[in-house]
Each structure stands twice: as structure tokens, then as C-alpha cells.
Amino acid sequence: MPLAPEDIATIRALVDVDAEAVRRADWDTVTRLFTADAIRFPPNQAPIRGRSAMRAWLETFPPLQEFAITADEIIGCDEFAFVRGTYVMTLAAAAGTTAEIDRGHYLGLLRKQADGSWLWSTDMAVSELPLQR
């Protein structure tokens, strides 16, 4: 059975909460939006498995000046949802330097929880920009 409109609305709200928490560097909230066994595939890095590893990785994230994500497509069924979207982030510039900007695409798989909420179980981001060498 396809996702109900209320599930799609709940998932869109989760994407918004996630983006706002990232902007504030609220890593407690970000990690709570993932299942305990979640896996994240960040660009140009090894996979990150589980909430504690994800939290440790997030703690090393550079300060952000701006961050935005979209949810361009949400499809799924009773217990699973797939989200495809874009991201843009600007890393805060240190004194005397220019801000670094990254943009790209992400794919995420969410699982519906027993209480009706949705949590990310897999997340993968791909930058559009070439690696800096």
C-alpha cells in the first residue's frame, strides 16, 4: 500500500527538523532522528554505523554558516519510505579565509516505528563538486 498523505507530511516535517538541528549543531536531535542501527554514507568517507558512531562523527563536523536540504521525492509503502533530495551547505569561514560551499544530492531510507513516527535508517550524500586536491 502506498504511503498515506499523513505519512508524507510527517516525513517532510522530519526533514525540516533534521535541517534545523544541523543548522544549530544540535547533534542530540540529529542522532535521535536515526534508528539505533542506522548507517550513513558521507561523501569521500567510510560508512558510519549506529547512533554513537554518528554522534562522534557529527562532533567533528566543521561549523556551518548555512545548511538547507530539500525532499524532492518521497515514495514508499507501509513501513518504508525513500526520500531523494538536494543539499547545500556553507562552512563557516575562519578569519581571513573564504567560506567553503558544498552542494549535492542525498538518498535516504526511513522506517516507520511502532509509535507511527519515521526515522532515517540509511542516508547517503553525494557532492556535485570535485574533490579539492
- The CATH number for 5-127, chosen from 3.50.30.60, 3.10.450.50, 3.40.50.720, 2.40.50.360, is 3.10.450.50
Find out whether 43 and 36 touch, Cβ atoms under 8 Å: no
> In 3D, which of 109, 111, 104, 110 has the Cα closest to residue 125?
104
pLDDT number for residue 97: 83
Q: In tens digits, what is the pLDDT along the chain, a chain of 133 residues?
A: 899 999 999 999 999 999 999 999 999 999 999 999 999 999 888 999 999 999 999 999 889 999 999 999 999 998 999 999 999 999 988 888 888 999 999 999 999 999 999 999 999 999 998 877 6
Residue 58 DSSP symbol: H
Cα 18 to its chain centre, rounded Å, is 7
- Backbone phi, then psi, for 30, in 5-degree steps? -60, -50
Bridge pairing between strands 118-127 and 34-41: parallel
Q: What 3-state DSSP class applies to 77?
A: strand
What is the grid cell recorded at 69? 536540504
What is the grid cell recorded at 60? 567533528
pLDDT number for residue 51: 96
Beta bridge partners, 96, equal: none
- What CA–CA distance (Å, rounded) separates 80 from 109? 7
